[in-house]
Amino acid sequence: MSIPVAADRPAVLEFEEVDFVRNGRTILSGVDFTVRAGEHWALIGPNGAGKSTILSICGAAAHPTRGSAAVLGRRLGAVDLRELRHSIGHVNPRHPLRSPLTVFEVVLTGATGSNDLVPRWTPPPATVARAEDLITRLGLDPIREALWPNLSQGERGRALIARALLPDPDLLLLDEPTTGLDVAAREHFLRTVDQLHDTHRDLATVLVTHHLEELPVSTTHAMLIGDGRLLTSGPADQVLTTANISDCFDYPIEISRHDGRWQARASSE
C-alpha cells in the first residue's frame, strides 16, 4: 500500500554533507538526503550508528557542525529553533513526564510544546476542539481522563501521537515508537500510523527502529546508517534488501516482504 510520492513535492528535510562532531568525536560524516512532503521514511542502523543524532537535527534540537540542514525549508543556524520546533511533532516513548496528567491534558501539552501544562495557560477553544478530535481519532475516548502513570505503553504511544499532531505539524518524528509494546499494541500502533498517512497526505514522517517487523506498511523510503555515514537511501523496496541490510549490520540477514510488511532473520547460508 506504499503511496507514490511525486519528486516535485516540497522538501521537508534537506541534509547536505552534514557532519556532526561532539567532544572531538565525529558522530556523523557527510550525511546527504532529502525527505519530501508525503514521504514516510524508515531510519535504520546498528546501535551507535547515529540515528538519534540525525533525528535530533531533523527535530531542530541540534545543528550540524559542518554542511547544511534545512528543516521545513528553513536552514538551521539561520532560524529560531524554538519556533521551528512548533511545526514538528516528535513522538518519544521516553517522554519525560513527571506529573500525573490525564490523557486529555497530555494531548493539550502539544500546543505549548512543554512536558507539563503551562501554569495559568488557558487553551483556546479551537485547540480544545482539536484535542478532542484527535483523542477520538486515536481511539482514546475511553481513557480520556486516565492518568499518565497508569497508562500502558501502547496507550501512552497513542496519546503521544495525538499530542504530536495537535499543532498540525508538517513533519512527524517517531523515535523507536514501538519499544516495549506487546504484539497487539504494536499492531494497533502500526495501523494507527498507516491511517494517519491516509488522512494527512502531506505529512512527512521519519521513523527510527531496530526491527524491520516494526515498519508500517505505508513506509515509502528508507535510509541505512552505519558508523555515522549514510550507506544507502531511496525507495524502501530498493534499500531494504538482504544484501544492503547484511552489509549495514555486518551480519548475514535475510529480508523478505509479505503483504507489505518486512521480515528479517539470520540467513541460513
Ligand X SMILES: Nc1ncnc2c1ncn2[C@@H]1O[C@H](COP(=O)(O)OP(=O)(O)OP(=O)(O)O)[C@@H](O)[C@H]1O
Q: Which residues bind ligand X (CB under 6 A)?
A: 22-23, 25, 27, 45, 47-53
How is 161-190 classified by DSSP, letter by letter? HHHHHTT--SEEEEESTTTT--HHHHHHHH
Residue number, 38 or 45, with CB nearest to ligand X: 45
CB 166, min distance to ligand X, A: 26
Nearest distance in Å: CB 43, ligand X: 9
Query: Minimal distance in Å, beta carbon 225 to ligand X?
Result: 7
Nearest approach, Cβ of residue 48 and ligand X (Å): 4
Describe the chain by its helix, strand, coil percentages, rounded to 5: 30, 30, 40
Residue for grid cell 492518568: 147
State in angstroms the smallest separation of the CB of 98 from ligand X: 23
**28's grid cell:** 556523523
Rank residues 57 and 193 by Cβ distance to ligand X and give the closer one. 57
- Dihedral angle of Cα 136, 139, 140, 143, to the nearest 10 degrees: 120
Computed on alpha carbons and rounded to an integer, the radius of gyration of the chain in Å comes to 18
Q: Between residues 61 and 79, which has the closer beta carbon with respect to ligand X?
A: 61
Distance CA 127, CA 14 (A): 30
With vertex at residue 193, the alpha carbon angle to CA 212 and CA 102, rounded to the nearest 5 degrees, is 120
Cell 475516548 -> residue: 141
Given strand 221-226, what is the order of strands in its sheet? 88-91, 171-175, 204-208, 40-44, 221-226, 229-235
Residue closer to ligand X by CB (options 49, 69) is 49
CB of 215 to ligand X, least distance (A): 16
**Comparison of 162 and 239: residue with beta carbon closer to ligand X:** 239
If the CB atoms of residues 31 and 240 are measured against ligand X, the closer one turns out to be 31
- Identify which of residues 9 and 95 has a Cβ nearer to ligand X in the complex: 95
Give the SS3 label for residue 11. Answer: strand
The side-by-side arrangement of strands in the sheet containing 66-71 is 25-36, 11-22, 66-71, 74-75
Least distance to ligand X, CB of residue 229, Å: 12
Return the SS3 of 108.
Answer: helix
